[in-house]
């Protein structure tokens, strides 16, 4: 079956004052329609840069990115972000502070007529359970509510692919876990394809169908959560998964007041 998103042999680099710095070299991955994928790795492994390349914010040095059969990016070629039909949820949510919740959600719907816009906004408010705060401004909302607005806004124009950049990192641990499951339910319910980037294993395991453990700009293992846990491809993956689980356990014990 043809994957929805295919990233083949891409290389990414930044121009810094000291010269060109390679971030990702010869990276490939694919994601099937309706699946939720995840790039899991420590900060600096290049996962966010890959996400930004899929969104159209980073030019490719080599390789190509396709959505279905359409070419989005290759070396020297770039479809502008606004023409990709890719949605994104940002780490800081990036809600427009001068617009109300409903205006934020309607931002990407300006090509539809007014009745259709209103209908779609109502539909999404209902989906994320925010009907009561439609007229409020982002700064009047809690972190969890802001996050749901960000999700609703990204889904409103019905993107082919949703990107999530560390979407839960600004929330406290309890909200984080609850929301991760909630977001998974919503995405599954609406049948969206999504790619998540995170350094948090618990988040990855809560949401994703497929997880790629990353190191130095490359995927070490691309597998289901079950596969990663039970059949780690090598020492690194085993270590990473185990340590993260251990840390999460310790953190929760600490929060419950059991540890020191």
Partner 1 sequence: MASTTEPLPLQASHSGTQRPRPWLEAGWGWRAGAALIAICVAAPVATLVWLAGMGDAGHWSHLIRYVLPEALTNTILLLAGVGVLVASLGTGAAWLVTAYTFPTSRILSWALLLPLAVPTYIVAFAYLDVLHPIGPVQSLIRNLLGYASPRDFRLPDLRSMTGAIFLLGFVLYPYVYLSTRVMFATQAANLIEAGRILGLSSRGVFLRVALPLARPAIIVGLSLALLETLNDIGASEFLGVQTLTVSIYSTWITRSDLAGAAQIALAMLGLVVVLIMAERRGRRRQRYSNTQRMRPMQARRLEGGPALLAMALGWLPIVVGFVVPVMYLASETAKHLHLTGGVSEQLWQSGLNTVRISLLATIVVVLCGLIVTWAARGARPGRPARIAGLCARASTMGYALPGTVLAIALLTPINGLDHALSWLRQSLTGMSPGLILMGSSTALIAAYTIRFLAISIGSLESGLARIPPSLEQASRLLGESPTGTFRRVHLPLLRPAIGASALLVFVDTMKELPATLLLRPVNFDTLATWLYAEAARGTYEEGAVAALAIVLAGLLPVILLARHQLKSGH
Which residues contact partner 1 (rule: CB under 8 A)?
Answer: 14-17, 21-23, 41-46, 48-49, 52, 55-59, 80-84, 86-88, 90-92, 94, 96-98, 107-108, 110-111, 153-154, 156-157, 159, 166, 169, 199-200, 215-217, 236, 240, 243-244, 247
Coil, strand or helix at 145: helix
**CB 250 → partner 1: shortest distance, Å?**
11
Q: Whole-angstrom Cα distance, residue 205 to residue 155?
A: 22
Instruction: Answer whether 227's CB lies under 8 Å from 241's CB.
Output: no
Q: How far is the CB of 112 from partner 1 (least distance, A)?
A: 11
In the complex with partner 1, the residue whose CB is nearer, 35 or 153, is 153
* Cα separation, 65 vs 106, whole angstroms: 28
**Residue 135: helix, strand or coil by DSSP?**
coil
Cβ proximity to partner 1: between 43 and 69 the closer is 43
CA distance 153 to 108: 8
Q: Which is nearer to partner 1, 1 or 82 (CB)?
A: 82
Please identify, using beta-carbon distances, which residue of 26 and 185 lies nearer to partner 1. Answer: 26
Could you tell me the smallest distance in angstroms from the CB atom of residue 190 to partner 1?
17
Q: Judged by CB, which is closer to partner 1: 154, or 228?
A: 154
What Å distances lie between residue 176 and 105, 152, 172, 182, CA to CA? 22, 17, 6, 10
> Toward partner 1, which CB reaches closer, 212 or 217?
217
Closest separation between CB of residue 163 and partner 1, Å?
Answer: 8
Classify residue 5 as exposed, middle or buried by CB count within 10 Å of its CB (0-12, 13-18, 19+). Answer: buried
Q: Say if residues 120 and 109 touch (Cβ distance below 8 Å).
A: yes
CB of residue 233 to partner 1, shortest distance in Å: 16
| Nearest approach, Cβ of residue 218 and partner 1 (Å) | 9
Specify the DSSP class assigned to residue 9.
Answer: E
């Amino acid at each position: 079956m043809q994957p929805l998103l295919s990233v083949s042999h891409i290389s990414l680099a930044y121009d810094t004052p000291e010269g060109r710095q390679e971030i990702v070299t010869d990276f490939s991955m694919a994601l099937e329609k309706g699946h939720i994928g995840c790039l899991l790795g420590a900060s600096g492994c290049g996962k966010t840069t890959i996400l930004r390349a899929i969104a159209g914010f980073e030019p490719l040095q080599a390789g190509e990115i396709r959505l279905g059969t359409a070419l989005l990016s290759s070396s020297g070629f770039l479809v502008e972000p606004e023409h990709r039909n890719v949605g994104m949820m940002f780490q800081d949510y990036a809600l427009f502070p001068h617009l109300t919740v409903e205006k934020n959600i309607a931002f990407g719907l300006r090509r539809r007529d007014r009745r259709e816009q209103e209908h779609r906004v109502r539909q999404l408010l209902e989906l994320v359970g925010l009907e009561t705060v439609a007229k409020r401004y982002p700064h009047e909302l809690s972190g969890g509510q802001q996050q749901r607005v960000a999700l609703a806004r990204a889904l409103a124009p019905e993107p082919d692919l949703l990107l999530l950049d560390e979407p839960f990192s600004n929330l406290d641990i309890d909200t984080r876990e609850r929301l991760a499951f909630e977001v998974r339910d919503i995405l599954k319910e609406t049948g969206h394809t999504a790619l998540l980037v995170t350094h948090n294993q618990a988040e990855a395991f809560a949401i994703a169908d497929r997880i790629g453990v990353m190191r130095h700009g490359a995927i070490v293992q691309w597998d289901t959560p079950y596969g990663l846990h039970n059949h780690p491809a090598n020492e690194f993956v085993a270590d990473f998964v185990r340590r993260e689980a251990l840390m999460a356990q310790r953190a929760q014990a600490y929060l419950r007041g059991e540890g020191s």
